[in-house]
Amino acid sequence: MFKICKAKEEQLTAPGQVKIKKKSRVPGVMITQYVEVLPDGISTPDFTRKPIALTIQEGKMAFFRAIVTGNPTPVVTWMRNNGEIDEERYKFTFDSISGEHQLQMPDVCADQADTYKCYARNEFGKAVVTVTLNVIEVGYKKSKAMKESRTGIQTTFLKIGSFFNKNKEEKQLEIDEHFWELLLSTDKREYENICAQYGVTDFRWMLKKLNEKKLEREQQQEKVVEKLCNLKPIELKPNGAAEFELEMSLKDPNSKMFLFKDGVMIPFDADAEIKHGLKRVGKKFVFSINGVNPEDAGLYQLEIDGVKIFSTELQIPDVDFLVKIQDVNAEEREDAVFQCVLSRPMKKISWMGKNNPVEQGDKYDVTVSDDMLIHTLVVKDCLLLDKGIYSAVAGLKSCSAWLIVEGNTDPSMVGKKKKFSLKLQDSKSCSFETAPSFSVPLKMHQSPQRYECYMSCAVTGNPRPYVTWYKNNISLNTNTNYYITNTCGVCSMLILNVGPKDSGDYTVVAENSLGRVECSTKLDVKGKKSKYKMLHIKFNTNEKHKSLFSSFTPLD
């Protein structure tokens, strides 16, 4: 079954080389070290993010993701058990910024359902992860003979837990232990999503096995905990933190509490504002992760005196706003609508109104489109008290806008309250007009090919300046390949798919009757990297405003 894999692995082991098995910090990763003692500064390959099992419908885009570490930098390769990986049906990508390797299968077919292996190798060792791809064939209820005659290959659809033969039991043992840890601590409503994530389709077997593990886990927890309830999985907060909580009564108040991330113990403090914190109020324990970033994603486990109490997984969606919410002007008793568009589907995002969470109810309507890309917040029957800043939060990204509520004036009351008149002396004329200027210039960015590129700057001036974007001295304002917005002086441009054709000089020009100002940047696309250099900002104003001048030193 592993003839291809074994042949290639044997070639990598030179005569006299040792093979020392090591334990990875990430469950499911096997590490082999080729030398007895590693030199200083050298490390064997390992996975910080391993690919996970995938179940997907035929014709969709399937991909596995992996992030590896090691010194020297490991070389990543992919293999499959039955068949070869050819470049026509598979694509290999690498993001140099995030360090993520991907094996992509556009328009996946049933004959690509298989067990895949991801190898990370350097001259001091190797690390390997095994992952399964299950493909749901369109019209899967057809007879097996029809499938074989159409594809010429017998496709196996894995149903973990089927007890029709002894070989199935061996495959059940390959399930990642994270799968059971998540099920043991989550709500029953999340079972289906977790099973889909790990490729488990035999729910009857899963429930039977889960009940056995729950009984075993409860017997262990009884040794250290009297009562355990109200387990709430980890979730991202709009303030950029993540929290999970539970209520429990300890048998021994002096019991030691440990927190693990992907099997590695991490420090936490009950008082200080550090990365990982603990707040305790009576029997309620709240664990927090401050300043969440993509590296914080993973499986978090709480143990007390060596007994596992709670497991929860922090997932950070790789999502951004294609269209951000805009400022809304509404009159009293009217409805105000905020709407945004995401780069990838999400069932739910967080809405904030004046720093308070906003939920569906009598005052607010929160809706999402069928494709889960367009999210809408409706503030019903606006009052003056509703004005303020509203925010949409998706993953680690957020955008904000103002709700401005204008009061209605009853014409019948005009003049009725006027009891006296006040005559003021003629005052000197006062002008608040100013020439355009950049309060926030274009900044340096980095973006590889085929990724999104977002440029923005802020301009002030009265009268309100007219803003134009140029690329190589050609106006972009009417070019549909660039999404350009100007909200309250914040000028932004979005390039959805950066490519070599996007290289060049970009300029923002703001002008009004009092003057003109320019802000330029250079986009240089090389391979899979994009490099921006801020060049300069120069002001060209009329004689009345010659004193306004500013320049910026190039950034390397």
- What average pLDDT does range 56-65 have in this prediction? 87
CA distances from residue 102 to 95, 96, 276, 371 in whole angstroms, order as listed: 9, 12, 31, 25
Do 445 and 398 share a structural domain?
A: no
Give dist(CA 512, CA 516) in Å, integer: 7
Provide the number of structural domains found in the chain. 5
| pLDDT greater than 70 at residue 25 | yes
Q: Which of 334-338, 368-372, 449-453, 491-495 has the lowest mean pLDDT?
A: 449-453
Range of the domain at 237: 225-314
Residue range 400-455, pLDDT digits in tens: 999 988 876 555 544 444 344 455 555 555 567 888 998 888 876 666 777 778 78
Same-domain status, 199 and 230: no
Task: Please state, in angstroms and rounded to a whole number, the distance separating the CA atoms of residues 475 and 478.
Answer: 7
Find the mean pLDDT for residues 275-292: 83
305 and 337 in one domain?
no
Same-domain check for residues 48 and 132: yes
What's the rounded mean pLDDT across residues 286-310? 84
Same-domain status, 278 and 362 = no
Among residues of the chain, what percentage have pLDDT more than 70?
79
Q: Do both 441 and 362 map to the same domain? A: no
The answer to whether residue 467 sits within a structural domain is: yes
Please name the residues in contact with 203: beta carbons below 8 A apart, sequence gap of 6 or more. 191, 195
Highest-scoring range by mean pLDDT, 148-152, 269-273, 305-309? 305-309
Which tokens hold the place of 412? 């019948």
Co-location of 329 and 288 in the same domain: no
Task: Return the HEC string of 326-352.
Answer: CCEEEECCCCEEEEEEECCCCCCCEEE
Average pLDDT over residues 388-404: 88
Q: Choose the final residue of a domain: 276, 297, 314.
A: 314
Residue 205 belongs to a domain: yes
Q: Identify the pLDDT of residue 165.
A: 45
- The larger pLDDT score, comparing residue 138 to residue 267, is at 267
Q: How confident is the model at residue 378 (pLDDT cuts 50, 70, 90)?
A: very high
Residues near 147 by Cβ (< 8 Å), separated by ≥ 6? 110, 137, 154, 155
Boundary residue ending a domain (295, 314, 333): 314
| Tokens representing residue 521 in the block | 């940047």
| Beta-carbon contacts of residue 159 (< 8 Å; ≥ 6 apart) | 168, 201, 202
**Type of residue at 95:** D
pLDDT band for position 145 (cuts 50, 70, 90): very low
State how beta strands 62-71 and 100-105 pair: antiparallel
Whether residue 547 lies inside any domain: the answer is no
Q: How far is CA 22 from the centre of its chain?
A: 31
Distance separating alpha carbons of residues 463 and 434, to the nearest angstrom: 7
Average pLDDT, the chain: 77
Domain boundary among 223, 255, 287: 223
Are both 271 and 295 inside the same structural domain?
yes
CATH number of the domain encompassing residue 459? 2.60.40.10
Please give the distance of CA 80 from its chain centroid, rounded to a whole number. Answer: 28
Reported as a single tens digit per residue, the pLDDT across 71-129 is: 999 999 999 988 788 888 899 999 888 889 999 998 888 888 899 999 999 999 999 99
Distance of CA 438 to the CA centre of its chain: 31
Is 543 a residue whose pLDDT tops 50? Answer: no
Is residue 418 situated within a structural domain?
Answer: no
Round to whole Å and give the CA distance between 359 and 183: 27
In a domain, 163, yes or no: no
Tens-digit pLDDT profile for residues 316-325: 888 888 889 9
Residues contacting 356, CB < 8 A, separation 6+ = none
Residues 130 and 192 in one domain: no
Contact between 86 and 66 under an 8 Å Cβ cutoff? The reply is no
Report cis status (omega within 30 of 0) of the bond before 357: no
Q: What is the pLDDT of residue 90?
A: 92
For residue 104, what pLDDT is reported? 92
Q: Is residue 214 part of a domain?
A: yes
Is 161 contained in some domain? Answer: no
pLDDT of 186 above 50: yes
Same domain assignment for residues 129 and 196: no
Mean pLDDT of 199-220: 83
Residue 554 maps to a domain: no
Q: Answer yes or no: do 275 and 287 share one domain.
A: yes
Confidence of residue 138 (pLDDT cuts 50, 70, 90): low
Let me know whether 245 and 211 are in one domain.
no
In the prediction, which pLDDT does 58 show?
86
* Closest to 482 measured CA to CA, from 467, 469, 472: 469
